[in-house]
Structures are given as structure tokens and as C-alpha cells.
């Protein structure tokens, strides 16, 4: 059989687009409405998605109030509580939670994932993050976040402790022999007794080994240490490249690094995030996206634009052209991109702010056929193993994808029509890890 795509859904926020909650037909409270999220996950499961993914941020974004008040992401469920609740209304779809290695304890994280894996019958994945938002530190007693290298160093040890704790019991430890009064075989229990640079954790974990052995390890590092951590530990990664070439290079780099450390490159799936707008014609899809972009509030867009330019442009006339912006220490590639765009399309500051406030990453905007073509092309070019889909507005944008694009992918033999296995590892074609302490 030809290689098939994997599909995950990026569901926190349910739409990453700041105008989404204002779109006609959208549910403004979808980020914190259990009923809405239950509806979404049921659609995704009916479409046989591999997983439902919850990002996580340990605080409210540190934006000026005028920009923050436009945001539909300021309130949201916490991932473990939400995914545990969703486990009960689904049977097969994977449930991926983000947990931070910078602001949490390995014992807590190991336990919560093990518990969710038991509750869901083996459907859990852990998105390992070092927490990108620097403001989070101030919710955990630190003035500033630990530096990038220190965060990744801690992340690596954190991973080793968590996986070691998951292996506290052999899969067959719990004999539950009532007649003899033997609940478990103590020879099949291992206390980790980890003592490292960042953590000292005795163990054992007070829960049986997860159904999957270990929940699936996800990662999204883009930097060199991020990619290295992914290569050494991850089984699925989110690439954030916005071009086919960029994603191919990422794919080769991360799979190459995995091979270098002795891993099977097939056991690390590259799942770029892609923003999707589906129309019955390409023009309709583009018009939908333009409408959505027009719903980015000026106060929000202008703040994003200032950030991208590295210069506060909120004082200029919104309906005038972009004046010359001086180079600054904060200058980045986004500055050049935005200035060129303003000149090339002759945009006002207001028009430019709407673009800045929109989603800037990889986007497929078209019909079921053109989007399926693009996905197929990326797969055939070995730029990915599948996609982490992002919906523009919900429920419509999600149901356009599950109702129109998924059947097209299925008709081409590029996506499953039934779940073949029970666990997230089954869906992704990943092996169950051996227990490092017990055969």
C-alpha cells in the first residue's frame, strides 16, 4: 500500500486566528465551551483523525489591554482536565496534551499522563515543551525565564525521569491473586532512584505502566537544541516551516539526526502545522480568508504589526502608507517581509495590520481537490508524514475539512477510512516501547 497521511488537529485555541470568534456562524465561546469542543472532537473522530492536540500556555499573553481584549484565547480549559473529559465521549482518536518541562515536576507529569492513558485506553501523547512565552516565569516565582540552553538541558533530563517513572512496574506486575493475597509481584516493581543535575526522584510511580507503555512523545523544537531533543526523544514533531523546501530540509535534518543517534527514522513522524481554508472554488476560499482577515481588530493587528516590524507604529495614520521604519536591534526577517509587502501591494497601515494579525504560517487555501493535491505533493516529496491541521473558524471551517477534504484524501487512498488499531501508537504506526527495567 502507498504511504498514507496522518492527520492531527490543533485545537488550542480551536482557531489560532484572532478574528475567528467574530466570523459569521462561529461560536465565540468555543475555547471554553465543553459542548462545542465535544462536537468538534466527534467530527474529527468520525473523520478518523489520528489525534486532537491541546497546546498550552502558562499565563495570559502579556499584551497591551487594547490588543488583549480582542483575543478569544485569554480563557481556556487546562489540557489534562479537558482531555480526560473528552476521553469519555470518544473511543479511538488520540489525545495529545502539552506539558512544560520548565515549570512542572516529572513525578506529576508522569502520573497525569499515565492516568490519562489508562482512562483513555492508550490514546495519549505528550507534547514536550520548554515553554516559549517568557512571561510564564512570573507565574512561578521567577522574574525571567531560564535561558534557552538551560531549558533544553532540563527538558532532556525531565524526559528521562518521566519515562523511567512510567517503567516503574512491569506490564504483568499486577497478579491480583486474591486466594494467596498477592496484589502485585514486588520483583516486578522498580524504584527509579534518579539523581541528576536538575532532579532527584526516588519513585516508583504510584500507577501501573501506561497502556501504551509510554504515551507518544511529541515535540516542536525549531532551534538546534530543539531539533536535537526531538531527534533523540520524539516520535512525532510539529514542523513550523512555511514552505515545501523548508519542510523538506527540516524533515531530512530531524530524521537524519534520529538515524545518527541510532533510531529508526520511520519512528519519528513529521507533522507540519497547516492553516486550512476550504471553498467550493479557489476564489471562494480566498474570499473566505479575506473576510476572516478583515475581522482582525485594528488594535490587535497594529500590535502584531509593531511586533513584526520591531517598531511601534500605532501612532501613525491608519489610512496612510507605511513610513520608513528605521533598523533596530529587534530587526528580524518579519520586518523586511512586511515592508516589502507594504511597498509591493501599496497597502495602508490598516491593511498591513490586518495581514499581521492574521495567521502567517503555512496555509492551504482552496478546494477539496487543490488542498488534497498539495497534501499529496508534500507527502510524495517527503516533506512530511502528515499534517497538524488548523481550522480558520469553527464549526464551519472544521466541518468543511472533515466533510470535503478528508473524503477526497480517502478516495485517493491517502487516508484511512477506518481506524485499524486502538491506541495512538497504532494510528501513528509506532512501536510500543520496551520497559527498560523488565523484559
Ligand X SMILES: Cc1cc2nc3c(=O)[nH]c(=O)nc-3n(C[C@H](O)[C@H](O)[C@H](O)COP(=O)(O)O)c2cc1C
Choosing among ligand X, a copy of itself, none, which partner's interface includes residue 417 (Cβ < 5 to 8 Å by kind)? none
The 3-state DSSP class for residue 218 equals: strand
Binding mask 33-62 for ligand X (x = CB under 6 A): ----------------------xxx-----
Query: Rule CB under 6 A: which of 160-219 touch ligand X?
Result: none
Out of 8, 13, 213, 221, point to the residue binding ligand X (CB under 6 A). 221
Q: Which is nearer to ligand X, 47 or 390 (CB)?
A: 390
CB of 225 to a copy of itself, least distance (A): 23
Choosing among ligand X, a copy of itself, none, which partner's interface includes residue 388 (Cβ < 5 to 8 Å by kind)? ligand X
**CA atoms within 13 A of residue 367's CA, in its CB half-sphere:** 7
Instruction: Give yes or no for residue 222 binding ligand X (CB under 6 A).
Output: yes
Query: Rule CB under 6 A: which of 90-149 touch ligand X?
Result: 98, 129-132
Q: Which is nearer to a copy of itself, 75 or 264 (CB)?
A: 75
Choosing among a copy of itself, ligand X, none, which partner's interface includes residue 240 (Cβ < 5 to 8 Å by kind)? ligand X
Query: Rule CB under 6 A: which of 265-294 touch ligand X?
Result: 273
Q: Which is nearer to ligand X, 126 or 238 (CB)?
A: 238
CB of 49 to ligand X, least distance (A): 15
* Cross-strand bridge partners of residue 294: none
Report yes or no: 253 and 366 within 8 Å, Cβ to Cβ: no
Q: Which is nearer to a copy of itself, 110 or 274 (CB)?
A: 110
Q: Phi/psi at 20 (nearest 5 deg)?
A: -55, -40
Q: Name the helix (H) or strand (E) containing 100.
A: strand 94-100
# chain residues binding ligand X, by CB under 6 A: 17
Choosing among ligand X, a copy of itself, none, which partner's interface includes residue 273 (Cβ < 5 to 8 Å by kind)? ligand X
Choosing among a copy of itself, ligand X, none, which partner's interface includes residue 107 (Cβ < 5 to 8 Å by kind)? a copy of itself
Choosing among a copy of itself, ligand X, none, which partner's interface includes residue 48 (Cβ < 5 to 8 Å by kind)? none
> Which of 219, 236, 235, 207 lies closest to 110, judged by CA?
207
Query: Rule CB under 6 A: which of 225-244 touch ligand X?
Result: 226, 238, 240
CA 271 from centroid of its chain's CA atoms: 9
CB of 328 to a copy of itself, least distance (A): 27
CB of 182 to ligand X, least distance (A): 26
CA 91 from centroid of its chain's CA atoms: 21
Contacts 24+ apart (CB under 8 A), 397-401: 397/15, 397/276, 397/277, 397/278, 398/9, 398/40, 398/43, 398/44, 399/43, 400/278, 400/279, 401/47, 401/276, 401/278
Q: Cell numbers at residue 242, please?
A: 512555511
CA angle 357, 361, 362 (to 5 degrees): 140
**DSSP state letters, 287-325:** HHHHHHHHTS-HHHHHHHHHHHHTS--TTS-TTSB----
Q: Is the dihedral of CA 22, 24, 29, 34 positive or negative?
A: negative
Choosing among a copy of itself, ligand X, none, which partner's interface includes residue 355 (Cβ < 5 to 8 Å by kind)? none
Choosing among ligand X, a copy of itself, none, which partner's interface includes residue 315 (Cβ < 5 to 8 Å by kind)? none
Q: Which is nearer to ligand X, 56 or 422 (CB)?
A: 56
Out of 220, 268, 384, 394, point to the residue binding ligand X (CB under 6 A). 220
DSSP alpha helices (H): ranges in 202-281?
224-233, 244-260
CB of 182 to a copy of itself, least distance (A): 6
Q: Name the helix (H) or strand (E) containing 201.
A: strand 200-201
Cα(first)–Cα(last) distance of the chain, in Å? 33
Sites of contact with ligand X (CB under 6 A) = 55-57, 98, 129-132, 220-223, 226, 238, 240, 273, 388
Amino acid at each position: 500500500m502507498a504511504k498514507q497521511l496522518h492527520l492531527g488537529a490543533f485545537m488550542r485555541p480551536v482557531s489560532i486566528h484572532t478574528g475567528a470568534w467574530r466570523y459569521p456562524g462561529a461560536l465565540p465561546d468555543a475555547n471554553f465551551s465543553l459542548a462545542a469542543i465535544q462536537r468538534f472532537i466527534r467530527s474529527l473522530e468520525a473523520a478518523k483523525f489520528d489525534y486532537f492536540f491541546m497546546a498550552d500556555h502558562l499565563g495570559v499573553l502579556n499584551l497591551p489591554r487594547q490588543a488583549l481584549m480582542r483575543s478569544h484565547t485569554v480563557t481556556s480549559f487546562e489540557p489534562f482536565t479537558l482531555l480526560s473529559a473528552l476521553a469519555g465521549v470518544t473511543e479511538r482518536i488520540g489525545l495529545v496534551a502539552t506539558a512544560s518541562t520548565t515549570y512542572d515536576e516529572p513525578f506529576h507529569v508522569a502520573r497525569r499522563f499515565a492516568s490519562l492513558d489508562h482512562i483513555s485506553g492508550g490514546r495519549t501523547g505528550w507534547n514536550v515543551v520548554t515553554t516559549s512565552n517568557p512571561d510564564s516565569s512570573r507565574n512561578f516565582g521567577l522574574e525571567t525565564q531560564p535561558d534557552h540552553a538551560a531549558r533544553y538541558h532540563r527538558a532532556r533530563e525531565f524526559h528521562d525521569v518521566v519515562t523511567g517513572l512510567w517503567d516503574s512496574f512491569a506490564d504483568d506486575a499486577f497478579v491480583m491473586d486474591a486466594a494467596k493475597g498477592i496484589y502485585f509481584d514486588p520483583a516486578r516493581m522498580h524504584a527509579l532512584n534518579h539523581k541528576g543535575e536538575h532532579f532527584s526522584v526516588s519513585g516508583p510511580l504510584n500507577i501501573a505502566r501506561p497502556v501504551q507503555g509510554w504515551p507518544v512523545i511529541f515535540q516542536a523544537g525549531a532551534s538546534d537544541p530543539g531539533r536535537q531533543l526531538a531527534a533523540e526523544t520524539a516520535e512525532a514533531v510539529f514542523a513550523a516551516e512555511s514552505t515545501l523546501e523548508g519542510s523538506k530540509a527540516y524533515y531530512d535534518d530531524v530524521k537524519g539526526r534520529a538515524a545518527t543517534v541510532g533510531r529508526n527514522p520511520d519512528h519519528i513522524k513529521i507533522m507540519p502545522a497547516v492553516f486550512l481554508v476550504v471553498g467550493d472554488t479557489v476564489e471562494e476560499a480566498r474570499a473566505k480568508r479575506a473576510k476572516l482577515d478583515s475581522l482582525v481588530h485594528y488594535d490587535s493587528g497594529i500590535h502584531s504589526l509593531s511586533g513584526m516590524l520591531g517598531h511601534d507604529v500605532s501612532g501613525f495614520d491608519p489610512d496612510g502608507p507605511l513610513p520608513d521604519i528605521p533598523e533596530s536591534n529587534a530587526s528580524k526577517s518579519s520586518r523586511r517581509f512586511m515592508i516589502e509587502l507594504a511597498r509591493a501591494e501599496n497597502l495602508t497601515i490598516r491593511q498591513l495590520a490586518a495581514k499581521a494579525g492574521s495567521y502567517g504560517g503555512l496555509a492551504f487555501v482552496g478546494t477539496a481537490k487543490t488542498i488534497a493535491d498539495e497534501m499529496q505533493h508534500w507527502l510524495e516529496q517527503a516533506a512530511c508524514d502528515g499534517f497538524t491541521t488548523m481550522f480558520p473558524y469553527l464549526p464551519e471551517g472544521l466541518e468543511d475539512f472533515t466533510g470535503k477534504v478528508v473524503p477526497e484524501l480517502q478516495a485517493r487512498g491517502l487516508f484511512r477510512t477506518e481506524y485499524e488499531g486502538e491506541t495512538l501508537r497504532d494510528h501513528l504506526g509506532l512501536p510500543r516501547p520496551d520497559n527498560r527495567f523488565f523484559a
